[in-house]
Amino acid sequence: MAGTTLAKTTAAEHLALEATVSGLMAELAALEEPRAREVNQRHGDDHGVNLGKLRAIAKRLKTQQDLSRGLWDTGDTAARLLALLICRPKAFGRDELDGMLRGARTPKVQDWLVNYVVKKSPHSEDLRLAWFSDPDPVVASAGWALTSERVVKKPEGLDLVHLLDVIENHMKDAPDRLQWAMNHCLAQIGIEFPEHRARALEIGERLEVLKDYPTPPNCTSPFAPDWINEMVRRQSVK
């Protein structure tokens, strides 16, 4: 009898979850802005929902792991972004996160998955090592993003000279997202480690990656030498 009740409860909960997911999908569709979609598509993101409004929905929902998984399973970009805001990062298994990254598809989803979920997961180091040299450059870029995090927060055990060697030899011709992640790592090494700063600056100057990247006024250029010098300058005046 108890088993029957549990089965009915589980089925009822499943139906309620499906209804909630459907309702949220309709809410997200109503927030669609053609102009926002147009801007996002230039960066490879196929959604038109204002991120401030998306965060407001997440604040209302709070943490709901089952709902997060339901939203993720829709495959819709806006729904997946919402899913990442209401999930419980430590509830995901290692293989589950690996599959989510490989199926993330768009830059914003990948970025939020790595920064909001994987970095808070007990599997982050294992995944960093697995992704770092993956043949898929998008997956590899996630490994480099996690490596940049370690450079800043837990550099013990990292071979910084080897990282600079890899950056020097491969960053120039890397695909865009991987190149961006490697450049970030180069800048962080130069900022955080004075003993490696001269080499990091020299690599950046010689490779000229992102040298001409359009940067708004009062923002720091992603060009590594400019980025390094500006951050070091700020540290010196604190």
Predicted pLDDT at 14: 82
Question: Of 122, 152, 173, which one is at a domain's C-terminal end?
Answer: 122
The tokens for 38 are 């147009």
Lowest mean pLDDT among 5-19, 73-87, 88-102, 203-217: 5-19
Q: Which residues contact 65 (CB under 8 A, 6 or more apart)?
A: 87, 88, 91
Q: Do residues 103 and 213 share a domain?
A: no
- Position 8 pLDDT exceeds 80: no
59, 200, 215 from 56: Cα distances, Å: 5, 40, 29
Mean pLDDT for the stretch of residues 63-73: 96
CA-atom Rg of the chain in angstroms: 21
As a whole number of angstroms, the distance between CA 155 and CA 147 comes to 9
Q: Residues of 39-61 as b/e, b for ≥16 C-beta within 10 angstroms?
A: ebeeeebebbbeeeebeebbeeb
Q: Do residues 147 and 110 share a domain?
A: no
Q: Do residues 94 and 142 share a domain?
A: no
Q: Do residues 60 and 30 share a domain?
A: yes
Give tens-digit pLDDT for 140-177: 999 999 999 999 999 999 999 999 999 999 999 999 99
Give tens-digit pLDDT for 80-106: 999 999 999 999 999 999 999 999 989
> 66 with 17: CB under 8 angstroms?
yes
As a whole number of angstroms, the distance between CA 25 and CA 34 comes to 17
Mean pLDDT for the stretch of residues 126-134: 98
Q: Do residues 109 and 159 share a domain?
A: no
Predicted pLDDT at 10: 76
Q: Do residues 105 and 140 share a domain?
A: no
Lowest mean pLDDT among 3-12, 145-154, 170-179, 205-214: 3-12
Q: Do residues 140 and 168 share a domain?
A: yes
Annotate 84-153 with DSSP letters as a single string: HHHS-GGGS-HHHHHHHHHT--SHHHHHHIIIIIGGGSTTHHHHHHHHHT-SSHHHHHHHHHHHHHHHHH
Percent share of the chain, pLDDT over 90: 81
The per-residue pLDDT of the chain, averaged, comes to 92
Question: Of 122, 148, 180, which one is at a domain's C-terminal end?
Answer: 122
Mean pLDDT for the stretch of residues 106-126: 97
Q: Do residues 190 and 112 share a domain?
A: no
As a whole number of angstroms, the distance between CA 63 and CA 51 comes to 18
Q: Do residues 81 and 156 share a domain?
A: no
Whole domain around residue 136: which residue ranges? Answer: 128-238
Q: Do residues 142 and 210 share a domain?
A: yes
Question: Of 83, 104, 122, which one is at a domain's C-terminal end?
Answer: 122
Q: Quote the number of domains for the chain.
A: 2
Confidence band of 36 (pLDDT split at 50, 70, 90): confident
Q: Do residues 210 and 225 share a domain?
A: yes
| Cα–Cα nearest to 45, from 109, 117, 101, 99 | 109
Q: Do residues 138 and 66 share a domain?
A: no
- Position 7 pLDDT exceeds 60: no
